Chains A and B, each alone.
Chain A
Amino acid sequence: MVKKIFIDIAKCIGCHACEIACEETHGKSYISVYEVTDFLTIPLKCMHCEKAPCIRVCPTRAMRRADGIVVVDDARCIGCTSCISVCPFGAPELNMKGIIEKCDQCRMRTMKGLLPACVAVCPTGALVFMEEEEFTKLRRLNVVKELSEKLVAYQ
């Protein structure tokens, strides 16, 4: 199974560490954290969708799936920005060279056995790098923990 970066929004504290780390690694941040209120902050990034709309609409097949993640083929991209219009998260960006850029889950780092930069620096574990099944389990465990804390009061 492919490992992906998952976001646990409830844990995000809006420290912007992921943005800083992403900029350090790629020269530009492919993740952005929006501060809705003091307590609600939402990190947005490419989710590497299973049925990725960007892959479907790409006329030159520059957007494709490699090792389970969605990547852009620089040589094929014509910068038509179709992917930007269909992406539900607003993840792809057009760079100065007229080519689409987006999160590649730090392939250079993961190949070396390192975590993606944003995951490595996230202090609270709001960003995690794991298989989908693992993440589902983690979410359930979180719910169990929360519920059990509340239910103890009724015992």
Chain B
Amino acid sequence: MALSNTKVTNVSMNIDVGLCSFCGACIAICPTHVGSKNLDYIPEKSADKPVVKDFQKCEKCRHTLCMQICPQLNIPSSSFNTNSYGYQGAYYSRSRMQEVLSRVQDGGTTTTLLLTALRAKFVDHVLILKKDDEWYPKPMITQSENDVIEAGGSKYVFSPILSVLEEVIDRIDIGKVAVVGIPCQLRALENISRLGFKHNSIVALRIGLFCMHSFSRDRMELILKELVVQFKDVVKMNIKKGKLWFTLRDGRILDYPLRKAEKVLRPACRQCPELFSPYADVNVGSIGAEENWNSLLIMNSRGRELVEKAIDMGLLEIKPMDNSGTETIEKYVNKKVSEALKYRELYTKEFQNVLLITPTKRGRKLNEILEHKSGRSIYLSPL
């Protein structure tokens, strides 16, 4: 297929067809972020995808870094294999901190682990996600424990948390940061690390969250419209027992069947094979856990160190996961992988001209150049 030179090759193409889960990594890596922020998100206009302001600027960019790290374009083939979802240990966990438990979904494990990381000086800053009254996500970098506690609770809407990395790499002495993210967001970090980009060296801790799928804010608004409520009335969201639960300001609790909500899923979520991130240090979720507990998967020694520290400090309690828990997780992993395989195949055909355009404008591919420079082989998805 002949490529026309006039066509802009950047992330906007896959954003247009819905292959974007709005992790924000491209916003952080775009070189224009120091000035005009050519690739940006504007909460009021497009709450659920990055926008390109000036396409002419993209023409100058030679390696289209945004495409190279995109977690929806570059999904490692190992992720489509159920065997890669191993873990070192599986536990149930619950926070011992009252101020955390009162705010969060289930066991408050994520918030507690973040507080532990800050207190034990594992990291200097954490990337967290706050929301305003209208449920517009507000990603930010912070050192304050209050901010971390306030950010507790799942959001279930796309949030460009990695866009904050731009603030991190801009500063001279920032130290190390911890990132909390759903699998696609951590996959973007993994792509960054696989390419050997420097942003990765700043991230010292990755806490993964279980994710079946997330919703764009616009879609969620439609669902709420059906229930005749507004975003600003919702205080808490939850997914449980095949239903979406909304806790309202006036105390009412509404539900919406998940099966119906899944009809409006983005292609990005349909093709994502990861229930939990194989690249995280620990993964936290509620699948397989009993009421008010979290399931906690320890993925590597760093994750183990963090959890042990949290227990030592008296902030967290854990108990080993029983067989029914691990079986449930395995069941969902298989489900997610098999569905993703099906859709990935479909999209590869359907969006061929989007996905098959050579990602760099120079003759060589970026991974070839990096392989030559570093002497190690770098895998990039064949797309």
Q: Assuming A122-B198, A124-B196, what are 18 further A-B pairs, CB within 8 angstroms?
A: A14-B62, A14-B369, A15-B31, A16-B62, A18-B31, A25-B34, A25-B35, A109-B34, A113-B172, A114-B172, A115-B169, A115-B171, A117-B34, A121-B169, A123-B29, A123-B198, A124-B198, A149-B375
Q: B322 within 8 Å of A by Cβ? A: no
10 A-B contact pairs sorted by A residue (CB < 8 Å): A13-B373, A14-B62, A14-B63, A16-B63, A21-B34, A38-B369, A115-B170, A120-B170, A121-B33, A123-B198
B171 touches A123 (CB 8 A): no
Write the A1-40 contact mask toward B (1 if CB under 8 angstroms, else 0): 0000000001101111111110111000000000100110
Cβ distance B39 to chain A, nearest Cβ, rounded Å: 11
Closest chain-B Cβ to A12's Cβ sits at a distance in Å of 8
What is the minimal beta-carbon distance from A56 to any residue of chain B, in angstroms? 31
Closest-by-CB residue of B relative to A117 is B34
> What's the nearest-Cβ distance from chain B to residue A18, in Å?
7
Which one of B35, B171, B364, B372 lies within 8 Å of A21 (CB-CB)?
B35
CB nearest neighbor in B for A3: B172
User: Is B241 interfacial (CB-CB < 8 Å)?
Assistant: no
Q: How far is the CA of A19 from the CA of B34 in the complex (A)?
A: 12
Chain A: number of interface residues, binned into ranges: 20 to 34
The answer to whether A110 has its CB under 8 Å from any CB of chain B is: yes
B56-78 at interface with A (beta carbon < 8 Å) = 57, 60-63, 65
Chain A residues with CB under 8 A of B29? 123
Query: A33 to nearest B CB, angstroms?
Result: 9
A53 at the interface (CB under 8 A from B): no
Question: 8 Å CB contacts to A: which residues of B33-52?
Answer: 33-36
A110 to B196 alpha-carbon distance, docked (Å): 25
| Pairwise interchain contact A13-B172, C-beta atoms closer than 8 A | no
- Tell me the B343-383 residues at the A interface (CB within 8 Å): 362-364, 366, 368-370, 372-373, 375
A114 in contact with B364 given A15-B62, A21-B35 (CB within 8 Å): no
In the complex, residue of chain B having the shortest beta-carbon distance to the beta carbon of A33: B62
Check B32 for interface membership: any CB of A closer than 8 A. Answer: yes
* B197 at interface, CB cutoff 8 A: yes
A-B contact count (CB 8 A): 91
Chain B residues with CB below 8 A from A115, complex form: 169-172
Give chain A residues whose Cβ lies under 8 Å from the Cβ of B366: 13, 15
B138: interface (CB < 8 Å)? no
Contact B373 A24 (CB under 8 A): no
With A and B bound together, what is the CA distance between A125 and B195 in angstroms?
12
A38 to B370 alpha-carbon distance, docked (Å): 11
- Distance A38 CA – B366 CA, assembled complex (angstroms): 10
Q: Are A117 and B35 in contact (CB under 8 A)?
A: yes
Contact B197 A124 (CB under 8 A): yes
* Interface check B219, CB cutoff 8 A: no
Cα A10 to Cα B370 in complex, Å, equals 10
Q: Does B195 contact A38, Cβ atoms closer than 8 Å?
A: no
Interface residue B194 (Cβ < 8 Å from any Cβ of A): no
- For B196, what are the chain A residues with a Cβ–Cβ distance below 8 Å? 124
Chain B residues whose C-beta falls within 8 Å of the C-beta of A149 in the assembled complex: 375
Question: Using Cβ atoms and an 8 Å threshold, which residues of chain B touch A24?
Answer: 31-32, 34-36
B172 touching A20 by the CB < 8 A rule? no
Taken together as a complex, chains A and B put the C-alpha atoms of A35 and B369 apart, in Å, by 12
Q: If A14-B362, A38-B364 touch, does A20 touch B369 (CB 8 Å cutoff)?
A: no
What residues on B are CB-neighbors of A110 within 8 Å? 172
CB distance from A36 to the nearest CB of B (A): 13
Assess whether B236 is interfacial by the CB under 8 Å rule: no
Q: Which residue of B lies closest to A10 (CB)?
A: B373
**Nearest-CB distance from B321 to chain A (Å)?**
39
A123 and B364 alpha carbons, distance in the complex (Å): 18
Interface residues as binary, A42-76 with B (CB distance below 8 Å gives 1, 0 otherwise): 00000000000000000000000000000000000
Choose one: A10, A18, A19, A129; the contact of B172 (CB below 8 Å): A129
Q: How far is the CB of A31 from chain B (nearest CB, A)?
A: 12
